[in-house]
Structure 1
Amino acid sequence: MKVHNRAEHQGGILRSPVLVKVQRISVTSTATMGENAGADQVKENLLQLSCHFTWSLLFEDADIPDLEMRISEQVEFLDIKGPVGMHNLLAYVRHLKGQHEEALQSLREAEALIQEEPLGKRSVVTWGNCAWVHYHMGSLAEAQSYLDKVENTCKDFASPFCYRMECAEMDCEEGWALLKCGGRNYSRAMACFAKALEAEPENPEYNTGYAIAAYRQDFDDNNISLGPLRKAVMLNPADPYIKVYLALKLQDIGEREEAERHIEEALSSTSCQTYVFRYAAKYYRREGCIDKALQLLHKALQTSPNSGYLHFQIGLCYREQMFQMKTPRNTPSRRQGSTQEMAQRAICEFQKTVELRPTFDVAYVCMAEVHAEIHQYEEAEANFQMVLNMQNLTGHRKQDIHLRYGRYQQFHQKSEDKAITHYLKGLKIEETSYAWRKLLIALEKVADKRIKKEVRLVESVSLLGLVHKLKGNMQESLMYYEQALRLTGEMNPEF
């Protein structure tokens, strides 16, 4: 799978047919030499632009269809936010697909919106993208005309650079683009919005972007997003989209009454309903109100039938119903039939999810866990291996995968050795997160259990030494390592 980033557009970027043609033309004539020099100058100027072609947006080829669909959804349904940025991002994605005419159409729509409501400094993003697309199409004169527009705007705003401006508006535009392109871009998106806020701390849009980016990065239970979300809601009281994010965060920390109030206010709004429904459904699922969650998800699905996120959330609801069916209050025969039915529904939804979003690692893991619950171990193993072999995952995602695969090995395959191996692999990833702490707990429990059963005592005791070392309990760690040494009866350098 190919990752799209700025490097594509520097040095070897320009692999488009027009570039190849330029490279092959004989340079014996003065005219041809002049054309090459002109193309080189245009290219040099393009690389100075601040736009989607130069922002190092990281995603895989396999992500493009889903990304294109999600951008189109935002343009259509997220009606509280100006769509110019999404038209620009859509143009970039269509360019990557080789659909240059379609890319230009998206940029024309962005330009039309600029003319209706001038965006000032932000217009240079659209014109920069126009220049890039025309360049790839071999239209050097058109590319230069858009470069001239950028240059004139930079002069109007007294930018020290010919083809870019360093300002809060540019940081904000880059932040939204990064945020839309997935998890590998979130930390940079957060940094962009933070930089914009340095210039305008009370700007409602910048605060919204920063709060959402912080929420997406809030995987360590350190509540880094709570304050930013509260401020964003205060500055955007009519925005139901940001309210559902705050509600989910409040739910995380047990503030149910306040969370419920924000959910009800968001659902009472007629804006952004497709987005409100999907996040409110997540809230109700986590509250145990599965039927209400499914009702909202199916409403959202009517307008977004190809949303991988919606199918994933529906799958999680069916998975939860499967677990409910296994409770003792159901008779064994009813439990068996209902469990199988709900498991198959969940698997079907997770399968739709990965068809729409082939790199959605969590969906593979959830599908594997459902397969394991109904003893379809071959299918479970295949899905776990799919994510274990994925590249470019963030550290905390890898930790979560090793944790859940370790649990699968320990409790379904009865292999404590393989479980320990994966708990250790997860702990070796140096990123503090909720999953990392769960790995530590899982390793400690399995080590304690093996010590009580006197299974591989030296190894098990030394594992407890490692656990306490990672916890920062050095005295306890030394105690366990010394105990392990005594058990070996010799000085083992490893300890």
Structure 2
Amino acid sequence: MSEDNLKLLSCHFTWGLLKEDADLNFLEVKVREKLAVKCKYGGNLKQRGLNFLAFIKHLQGFNDEALKNLTLAKEEHPNDDKNAIVMYGNLAWVHSHMGNVTEAEKNIEKVNEILKAFPTPSPTELHREVLSEKAWSLLKFSKKSYVRAKEIFLEALQKEPDDKEWNTGFAFSLFRLEGLKIGQYKRVRYEESPAVLQLKKALKLDPNNAMIHVYLGLKCYKNETNAEALEYMTQALKMAPDDLSVVLHVAKFMKKEQRYDAALEVLLEMLKKAPDSSRIHHEIANNYRWKAMQIDDIHNPELLGLCVHHLEKGASLNPSHIYPQLELALRYAELKQTAKAEQKFTELFALSDLKPADRQAWHRMYGDFKLYRLGSERTAVEHYKQGMMLGRVSTEWVSCRNRLRKILQRDTRDTYMIRTLFASFRTESTDY
């Protein structure tokens, strides 16, 4: 079988989605957890979710699991029509990678049959269903593919300026891209935000889209119009109480507003529908922790116990997510289980596949453990220093810097080393 025939297929395998550009574990968890919630799926969204999950499993090196997910996708949409083009293309690629040449050729032929039955005006033009799945996949896969997603939605809009889906997709693309700017210590003002203008246009066309409300709420919150943000978030929750992404966004907003009981009510209700969601467990744990701080009782045994319970449950469901487990180690320390905390930190640091951002978080939290629980300032300083030296790979860089600044203000014996470290960063950036 010629590889050229595979390359002609428009599917996840030919859309330039590179595994080094994405956090595959996080993507898998998000898709799996969303699919696990029993709710009504509009159109062929469940099939698309399974298609996307299959591609992720391929990138992780598990073609058997990829094939299982594509089989489930086929059951969701057994008819050979335009909505199945991407699925059959993915099946052809997976079978080819598994050495199943005959099956690969069968699926290529399936695609060709559909294309003959539903021809496009030109051979290079994609069917709307394929273009849609491609654009949304690019938007979900990685921040490195946001621009490409935006370009697809924008080009489609030029042909159909009032199309509901294209307007929503373009709005979401702009929102994500502006979010990257905020991550780089910049902020797009609400009144000047192209994303806000496009989100409002999309909302007029699709007023029942809960995620549009969520994104507008987040834009309001970032610009300190919190009452309006709350209105958007409340409406989103009413519209989509079973949507895991919506619930998590709303709960995180409530947490930032210090409305911990309200956030817990929303999260615990969602937990009944998604008991195996590691992200829900992590967010519940965070709210119990912050609630204890709110009542000025950080060592409250009941709240701390609930926090630890949900962190442990989340860790068991998603052992590859390191950050909640680092928090768990700190909570052990707060329970005065110092040896257990030390063991957990040691186990996590020994992992061979720690990403730079995870390693930076490890240094910051281990430094906190040494400084605030064991009183070892010298060791803490060394770990904050190691965290900074990893560069701006996450917001933990700022946390390490701020902790070193506090130590520097006390004029301790580590002053010279800290000043020297800051001087090295000052030569590279004015914002150190």
What's the TM-score bracket when you normalise by the shorter of the two chains? Answer: 0.7 to 0.9
Deviation at 1:348, TM superposition (A): 1.0
Instruction: Tell me how far apart the structure 1 counterparts of residues 351 and 268 of structure 2 sit (CA, whole Å).
Output: 31
Among residues 291, 295, 310, which one is paired with 2:261 in the alignment? 291
Give the structure 1 partner of residue 208 of structure 2. Answer: 238
Among residues 344, 369, 375, which one is paired with 1:408 in the alignment? 369
The Cα offsets for residues 396-449 of structure 1, whole Å up to 9 and x where unpaired, read as: 554444333323322222222222222222222333764333333322222332
Give the structure 2 partner of residue 313 of structure 1. Answer: 283
Identity %: 22
Q: Secondary structure at the match of 2:233?
A: helix
Give the structure 1 partner of residue 72 of structure 2. Answer: 106
The Cα offsets for residues 92-116 of structure 1, whole Å up to 9 and x where unpaired, read as: 467736257743432324544774x
Residue 262 in 1 paired to residue 225 in 2? no
Give the structure 1 partner of residue 142 of structure 2. Answer: 186
Equivalences for residues 21-170 of structure 1 within 5 A? 39=1, 41=2, 43-54=3-14, 55-57=17-19, 66=29, 69-73=32-36, 76=39, 79=42, 82-92=45-55, 96=62, 98-99=64-65, 102-109=68-75, 111-112=77-78, 115=81, 118-119=82-83, 123-135=84-96, 140-150=101-111, 153=115, 156-159=120-123
Among residues 169, 172, 178, which one is paired with 1:206 in the alignment? 169
The Cα offsets for residues 305-352 of structure 1, whole Å up to 9 and x where unpaired, read as: 11111111111111112323544xxxxxxx86xx12221211110111
Q: Secondary structure at the match of 2:64?
A: coil
Give the structure 2 partner of residue 422 of structure 1. Answer: 383
Instruction: Tell me how far apart the structure 2 counterparts of residues 267 and 138 of structure 1 sit (CA, whole Å).
Output: 47
User: 1:205–1:254: structure 2 CA closer, same or farther, 3 Å change rule?
Assistant: closer
User: 1:428–1:100: structure 2 CA closer, same or farther, 3 Å change rule?
Assistant: closer
The alignment's TM-score, normalised by the length of structure 2, stands at: 0.78
AA in 1 matched with 2:18: S
Deviation at 1:128, TM superposition (A): 0.5
Instruction: Tell me how far apart the structure 1 counterparts of residues 217 and 79 of structure 2 sit (CA, whole Å).
Output: 33
AA in 1 matched with 2:278: G
The alignment's TM-score, normalised by the length of structure 1, stands at: 0.69
Structure 2 runs not aligned, ≥5 long: none
Give the structure 2 partner of residue 303 of structure 1. Answer: 273
Residue 376 in 1 paired to residue 337 in 2? yes
AA in 1 matched with 2:45: G
Instruction: Tell me how far apart the structure 1 counterparts of residues 359 and 409 of structure 2 sit (CA, whole Å).
Output: 25
Instruction: Tell me how far apart the structure 2 counterparts of residues 113 and 221 of structure 1 sit (CA, whole Å).
Output: 49
Structure 1 runs not aligned, ≥5 long: 1-38, 328-334, 478-495
Q: Over alpha carbons, which structure has the higher Rg?
A: 1
User: 1:210–1:381: structure 2 CA closer, same or farther, 3 Å change rule?
Assistant: farther
User: 1:188–1:401: structure 2 CA closer, same or farther, 3 Å change rule?
Assistant: same
User: 1:367–1:179: structure 2 CA closer, same or farther, 3 Å change rule?
Assistant: farther
Give the structure 1 partner of residue 307 of structure 2. Answer: 346
AA in 1 matched with 2:142: Y
Count the aligned residue pairs: 409
Instruction: Tell me how far apart the structure 2 counterparts of residues 358 and 228 of structure 1 sit (CA, whole Å).
Output: 39
Instruction: Tell me how far apart the structure 1 counterparts of residues 40 and 343 of structure 2 sit (CA, whole Å).
Output: 36
Contact 2:360 2:396 in 1 (8 A): yes
Instruction: Tell me how far apart the structure 1 counterparts of residues 126 and 404 of structure 2 sit (CA, whole Å).
Output: 49
User: 1:436–1:175: structure 2 CA closer, same or farther, 3 Å change rule?
Assistant: farther
